[in-house]
Amino acid sequence: MPIIKPVKGKHPQIPNDCYIAENATIVGDVAMGNNCSVWFNVVIRGDVHFIKMGDKVNVQDGAVIHATYQKSPTIIGDNVSIGHNAIVHGCTIHDNVLIGMGSIVMDDCIIESNSIIAAGAVVTKNTIVASGSIYAGVPAKKVKDISEELISGEINRIADNYVNYSSWFK
């Protein structure tokens, strides 16, 4: 059974069509959209500020989503994939974004739509990733513009696959 619990009177809001793995933890002021999936060993802590997730967001194994106390909530748009062991902290991620495996997105960053954060990248505080960009490295920098092929072939494909994968476990 996943750990889903209120903190300070705030209860996670999880639609019935979402998949939550048995060992995931979701606490506090967390609102999820439709067709989301939260995989094994994920922690989503809405204890110090709110976390809002759009539709068709997948949070893959071992990822952590948190916020900064009374300062920086975490807002995630629609059709977003957060890769294995990524950390998303006190930032805003717009629609159609891929956050790569093991990457870190820090406080007050804005990741605009149709962007990719490469595996292992560290997006430092206050960075704005322009729509259509691929960022990589430590600290993360723009490495190129994203192609329409990557938007449909990676961002949309992964998000769609995770809706399918979650159906296997429901």
Phi-psi region at 42: left, alpha or beta (left = phi > 0; alpha = psi -120 to 50): beta
What does pTM read for this prediction?
Answer: 0.97
Q: Give the model confidence (pLDDT) of 128-146 as tens digits.
A: 999 999 999 999 999 999 9
The answer to whether the CB of 42 falls within 8 A of the CB of 66 is no
State the pLDDT confidence band at 31, using cuts at 50, 70 and 90: very high
Q: Phi, psi at residue 154, to the nearest 5°?
A: -120, -60
Query: pLDDT at position 150, please?
Result: 81
Query: pLDDT at position 26, please?
Result: 98
Hey, where are the domains in the chain? 3-169
Query: pLDDT at position 165, please?
Result: 97
Strands 133-136 and 141-145: antiparallel
Q: Give the model confidence (pLDDT) of 57-77 as tens digits.
A: 999 999 999 999 999 999 999
The architecture in CATH of the region 3-169 reads 3 Solenoid (2.160)
Share of the chain above pLDDT 90, in %: 95
State the pLDDT confidence band at 48, using cuts at 50, 70 and 90: very high
- Closest alpha carbon to 133 in 110, 153, 106, 101: 110
